[in-house]
Structure 1
Amino acid sequence: MADSAPRPPLARFEGVSKRFGEVTAVNDVTLDILEGEFFALLGPSGCGKTTLMRLLAGFEAPDGGRVSLGGQDLAGTPPHRRPVNMMFQSYALFPHLDVAGNIAFGLRQEGLGRAAIAARVEEMLALVQLTGLGRRRPDQLSGGQRQRVALARALAKRPRMLLLDEPMAALDRKLREETRFELKALQARLGTTFLIVTHDQEEAMSLADRIAVMREGAIEQVAPPAEIYEAPASRYVAGFLGEVNLFEAAVTGTEGGLVKLAGAACPAGFLAQAPDAPPPGTTVWLAVRPEKMVLAQDPPAAAAPNTLAGEVRDIGYTGDWSTYVVALEGDSTLRVARANASRHVQRPIVRGDKVWASFAPDAAVVLTR
């Protein structure tokens, strides 16, 4: 967000639950979405994120708990009376109306005057960079342009909160990446609260001020993107956002502000930073991102903590990064990512090479669940 001053909650879920028959889609969720922020609900299909959004929009009613907006309980308020608007995944444009007609539809429903509607439509066309295309039909537009029309229609009524349901799912990868920056810049310019539902981790990380990671109808963690990535609250969160190496270990003690751990993967043991280290004997998991590991072709001079020996099983090259799959003793593997900062490598690592992967104590996150 642009400033660090505390903001009041705009939308609030208090102990909200929703069931469909015997299936609990949302389970006792408590969550605040702040005024003016770009908030993301992130999780796999069936985790409850879309149901939570539909509860806010008024398309579903909670079986328990309270949903409020701006301090007003929304119970019994129909969707068209709520100060929110929703942009659907399918865009749901009217094929018989041109671009201007689609944008103006909701304004006409509200009884706005003709001159006011025309002015608002032109304002929205300029906002989404579609000036001059008002007379085109949806089938004469590209996928990215249709998405912008749907966005303009959703914003035309000037809602206090815009709800985005997988808004970029229909776009190709390159267009999705371009659209993310445009959407983020648009939200910052308007200052409107945006709530996006997505299963795409990159999308959530690049757009949102804060992310709620959902699992089986409940919230696992709510935090800014960098905190969720660098300090996940659980193995589930660590694994859902990007690649991660997980090592099971047992706490054996502390040493100089570091926690000492014993694990089968590393004969010399592990050392990690953990301000709130659990007591000795506790089983934990060390989470280490692939890009925070170092790969060497020469063995360490002596047995060193956080150093694992293995053999390169596979290499994935993506241009800017190379990912090495390293087979450890037994059936386990780990991943090490290296930035391809130079065009030339003196000693390239190839499949079958014996290597040593290591990481610094502050690169690991100690997880208890």
Structure 2
Amino acid sequence: MVDKSSRAIGAVRQSFAPWNDPSARPLIRFEGVTKRFSDAVAVDSVTLDVYENEFFCLLGPSGCGKSTLMRMLAGFEEPSGGRILLGGEDLAGVPPYERPVNMMFQSYALFPHMSVEKNVAFGLKQEGLPKDVIAARVAEMLKLVQMERFAARKPHQLSGGQRQRVALARALAKKPKVLLLDEPLGALDKKLREETQFELMDIQIELGTTFIMVTHDQEEAMTMADRIAVMDAGRLVQVATPGEIYEQPRNRFVADFVGDVNIVDGTVTGREPSGLWRIAAPGAAGPLAVDDPDESLDPGQAVAVAVRPEKMTVSRERPEGENAFEGEVWDIGYLGDWTVYRIRLDDGRILRVTRANTTRFVERPIDLEERVFIGFLPDAAVILSS
């Protein structure tokens, strides 16, 4: 078995990782926070730390409690139990306008009768700052979001992406310690959303402001966040870096929610001296061999083997090794950079395999209704016991 202790999981974007430093103090701490609405529990005993300068994401399906958690931090909702600390101080009883936190809403909420410049200046004027300070700060923010040329325009004269930039500039103008982003890119088209993701990351790094984003878009969270908290039914399911969330999901929910995955149910039959677990799985050509560091599995235990589609191969010949399935090509989706194959096994189950299109031409392309083999390496899979 290959020693994984010295290997990074996923792409490493920067060395910033205060959560791995036992001496680091979090900027924000949720301590056993619960929120009830009548008999419904929206947030259930959440304990979570967020560090200064971190781009943090709350990810989960609709109704999982992520927006409620952020609204409690902003002061728009009060916890039913537990407490929220910012910079070591309890926020209980502190009104929203006195918290060093600002929020950018999905709707942007720009004032339609005001120019871009006046929209950005609004919060600064409310604080009674001198005119020269306001003018300098507005100019700085418009330059940051590349909207200097549009200072005199009204919101209705701007595109969706431009309105998003104005809303961001207004939210950052007061120099909050924490910026809260509620589905910030939901109104943008796919291509503009992808471009804006990287722009937001660059702005966050340049300013050093702590960003907390709420989204149900897995790709958005994976692209932008330093860490992701996956939520389900008001609880935290897993908190980790994007690479760890994707490559080492804690349970079946995380594996299935974040990205595409093939999940095969099976039973542990034992462990080899090399460290590989043996899993008996219906439909497989033989016992599956999985390189997983989990030491707690027992023979006879029911588990699931999760493999991402891009880590599987599809071919006309049986692959080397023991991890093989045989089936028929049921569907083919050509996406340009990738081709997606849906393979129907003899027992009716469908497995997905993706193949990168690295060349323009393919000799003897695999076609519909062909009999093919699917394979994967032992270290490509993860064993899920829950």
* TM tier relative to shorter chain: over 0.9
Residue in structure 2 matching 1:15, options 11, 28, 32:
32
Give the 5 Å matches for 1:1-369. Answer: 1-4=14-17, 6=21, 7-255=24-272, 256-277=274-295, 278-299=297-318, 305-369=322-386
Provide TM-score, normalisation by structure 2. Answer: 0.93
2:286 is paired with a residue whose SS is strand
Unaligned runs of 5+ in 2: 1-13
Render the CA deviation track for 1:90-118: whole Å, top value 9, x for unaligned. Answer: 00000011111111111111111111111
How far, CA to CA, are the matches of 1:276 and 1:3 in structure 2? 27
Q: CA deviation at 1:274?
A: 1.9
2:269 is paired with a residue whose SS is strand
Contact preservation (8 Å) 2:319, 2:375: no
Contact preservation (8 Å) 2:288, 2:322: yes
How far, CA to CA, are the matches of 1:325 and 1:23 in structure 2? 40
Q: CA deviation at 1:300?
A: 5.3
Q: CA deviation at 1:36?
A: 0.6
How far, CA to CA, are the matches of 2:151 and 2:233 in structure 1? 43
Give the equivalent residue in structure 1 for 2:9.
none
1:337 is paired with a residue whose SS is strand
How far, CA to CA, are the matches of 1:12 and 1:297 in structure 2? 54
2:30 is paired with a residue whose SS is strand
Query: Counting strand residues as a fraction of each chain, which structure ranks higher?
Result: 1
Q: CA deviation at 1:336?
A: 0.4
Contact preservation (8 Å) 1:9, 1:70: yes
Amino acid at match of 1:290: P
Render the CA deviation track for 1:172-214: whole Å, top value 9, x for unaligned. Answer: 0010001001000000101110000001111000100000001
Contact preservation (8 Å) 1:263, 1:270: yes
How far, CA to CA, are the matches of 2:289 and 2:317 in structure 1? 21
Amino acid at match of 1:359: F
Q: CA deviation at 1:4?
A: 4.5
How far, CA to CA, are the matches of 2:189 and 2:169 in structure 1? 20
Contact preservation (8 Å) 1:315, 1:322: yes
Amino acid at match of 1:83: P
How far, CA to CA, are the matches of 1:271 and 1:174 in structure 2? 40
Contact preservation (8 Å) 1:266, 1:305: no
Contact preservation (8 Å) 2:319, 2:374: no
Contact preservation (8 Å) 1:313, 1:327: yes
How far, CA to CA, are the matches of 1:170 and 1:89 in structure 2? 7
How far, CA to CA, are the matches of 1:206 and 1:366 in structure 2? 25
How far, CA to CA, are the matches of 2:292 and 2:149 in structure 1? 58
Amino acid at match of 2:303: V
Amino acid at match of 2:132: A
Q: CA deviation at 1:306?
A: 1.1
How far, CA to CA, are the matches of 1:133 and 1:345 in structure 2? 48
Render the CA deviation track for 1:320-368: whole Å, top value 9, x for unaligned. Answer: 0001000012221100000000111111001100000000000000010
How far, CA to CA, are the matches of 2:101 and 2:51 in structure 1? 14
How far, CA to CA, are the matches of 1:12 and 1:49 in structure 2? 15
Amino acid at match of 1:279: D
Contact preservation (8 Å) 1:247, 1:265: no
How far, CA to CA, are the matches of 1:130 and 1:89 in structure 2? 19
Q: CA deviation at 1:265?
A: 2.1
How far, CA to CA, are the matches of 1:158 and 1:299 in structure 2? 60
Q: CA deviation at 1:40?
A: 0.3
1:291 is paired with a residue whose SS is helix
**CA shift in 2, pair 1:2/1:96, >3 Å:** farther
Contact preservation (8 Å) 2:303, 2:383: yes
Q: CA deviation at 1:3?
A: 3.3
Provide TM-score, normalisation by structure 1. Answer: 0.97
Percent identity between the aligned chains?
Answer: 59
Contact preservation (8 Å) 1:89, 1:169: yes
Q: CA deviation at 1:2?
A: 4.9
2:340 is paired with a residue whose SS is strand
2:352 is paired with a residue whose SS is strand
Q: CA deviation at 1:167?
A: 0.4
1:274 is paired with a residue whose SS is coil
